Structure 1
Amino acid sequence: MTELQLAACSEMVFTDLPILDRVKRIDELGFAVEIWSWHDKDLQALARTGATFSSMTGYLHGDLVDRDGAEEVVRTAELSIKAAETLGVPRLNLHTAELVDGQAARPRYRTTGDMWLTAGRALERIGDLGAAANVTFCVENLNTIVDHPGVPLARAKDTLALVEAVAHPNVKMMLDLYHAQIGEGNLVELVRRCGDAIGEIQVADVPGRCEPGTGEIHYPAIARALREIGFSGTVGLEAWASGDSTVALERFRQAFS
């Protein structure tokens, strides 16, 4: 049976603890650790925890879909690579638009051909940066219905189209199944369709964005689909704990074991 590496987002569990203690607790429970922003954290202190870090945000500012914004994404992606080296992070997460408190910094509700071309060209450059540093940049799909209105090229079918068009080994999808369920559904077939384009999987249940078993998604079926396509990478719990964080992580483990 194909083994999956399981990770947990330190921004969303054990939230009563300081970030360093969250990381230590996640590591003690046998999970890799995801973080979001890196610029506001003591990276050296995080490294000293000895935890395995699976992913973090790979840019600071900018939008992939316009030329000036794309330049800023590329510039801050270089900075993120340097930060990733401190923690040994193999995957850096990108969004098609900059998020401020979860909302699009510059909302766009119509997509143009120029946006597609601009994003694709920027991702080619970012992929080359990743190849030189031996890291993979992953473009995350988002939902625009509940959490992230105004983000262009946000759906999984859009991020997949971008990744396949760029066709760079260091540009993959951060396939977020919570967002995909809200925006698109048909998750098992989506996993099969994305296949080799997947860099990492992120999960939470719907509604509520809590751990598997609290909503409508049958995650054991997702686990089977991932194994059927030969996926042996990381599945990250990017979810709030519905109650006790340790119990939430155990439910996550059970869903993917």
Structure 2
Amino acid sequence: MLFLEWPIEERVRRIHDRGFLVEIWDWSTKDLAALAATGADFSSMTGYLRGDLTTAAGRSELLATARESLRAAEIIDSPRLNLHGTGLGPGGLPVVPHERVSGEDWVHAAETLRQIAELGAEAGRTFVLENLNLAVDHPGTPFARAADTLALVRGVNHPNLRMNLDLYHAQIGEGNLVELVREALPWIGEIQVADVPGRCEPGTGEIRYEAVARTLRELGYTGVVGMEAWASGDADAALDAFAAAFAA
């Protein structure tokens, strides 16, 4: 999402040269060997290509492409692989919208995630389930709310399945970010941030990320905080703002 005027390998190099870890979305569109050759350390990548958590065909496809993603993760040594409640298409919209879920859907989703977690355990990697927002970016996505993703991860209760707590999405959908961080802490595999509105770097919108950062320090959180955000202007300045928001 940064240095968009450059090819992906150069974007990775520039982020790495600034001392940050790198995260990528769809790995299937990238030359992973070339990305690995940049010397960058990767934090996260997409953990599936197609499928969903609830339908028979979708679950089968999700598990199959999760296996493919684990093999891809070996090339760049990504420790975490990201999941959503269903496959997302162009513009972040669900391929098959299914916002209202039944009790049976919850059961199927939990079982699918258990199987995903076991795949992660075999490979020594962790899958993270990301919350999304329905109002702006991902209408129609099932299990989108932070409360829902947390409930699924907590219910599966497997060390190789954790929550990717996206605070940009949570602010739009639910708010109350400090208390959300406190509740989710034992289940967090990663935190992602961007400001609201606009999805740009911290300091460009309404979220008081300094208060979130203070809470994370008080709670002893030592995991990754990733900026999944556009630059409001210069990309280096956006990285500076991100670093300043979470500086000790």
Task: Provide the TM-score with structure 1 as the length reference.
Answer: 0.95
Structure 2 match to 1:3? none
User: For 1:59, what is the secondary structure of its paired residue?
Assistant: coil
Listed as ranges, the matches of 1:1-257 within 5 Å are 12-101=1-90, 102-257=92-247
Unaligned segments of structure 1, at least 5 residues = 1-11
CA contact (8 A) 2:2 2:231 kept: yes
Worse overlay, 140-149 or 67-76: 67-76
Offset, 1:255: 0.1
The offset of 1:65, in angstroms, is: 2.2
Letter aligned with residue 50 of structure 2: H
User: What displacement does 1:110 show?
Assistant: 1.5
User: Any idea what SS the aligned residue of 1:99 has?
Assistant: coil
Displacement of 1:210 in angstroms is 0.1
**Post-superposition shift, 1:26?**
0.1
Residues 4-49 of structure 1, C-alpha deviations (whole Å, 9 max, x = no match):
xxxxxxxx10001100000000000010000001111101000000
- Give the distance between the partners of 1:158 and 1:66, measured in 2 at CA: 18
Deviations 1:183-241 (A, max 9, x none): 00000000000011000000000000000000000111111111222210100000000
Contact 2:195 2:205 in 1 (8 A): yes
Shift of 1:109: 3.0
Q: Which residue of 2 aligns with 1:7?
A: none
1:5 aligned partner: none
Aligned length: 246
Cα deviations by residue, 1:96-135 (Å, 9 ceiling, x for unpaired): 1110011011011311011111110011011011011110
Partners of 1:87 and 1:127 in 2: CA distance: 20
RMSD across aligned C-alpha pairs, in angstroms?
A: 0.6
| Residue pair 2:99, 2:143 contacting (<8 A) in 1 also | no
- 2:87 and 2:94 in contact (8 A); partners too: yes
DSSP 3-state at the match of 1:200: strand
Matches of 1:116 and 1:46, distance apart in 2: 37
Q: Distance in 2 between matches of 1:109 and 1:187?
A: 23
Structure 1 SS opposite 2:19 = coil
Q: 4+ residue runs of structure 1 moved beyond 6 angstroms?
A: none
1:223, 1:165 → 2: CA distance? 27
Percent identity for Structure 1 against Structure 2: 61
Code of the residue aligned with 2:44 in structure 1: it is S
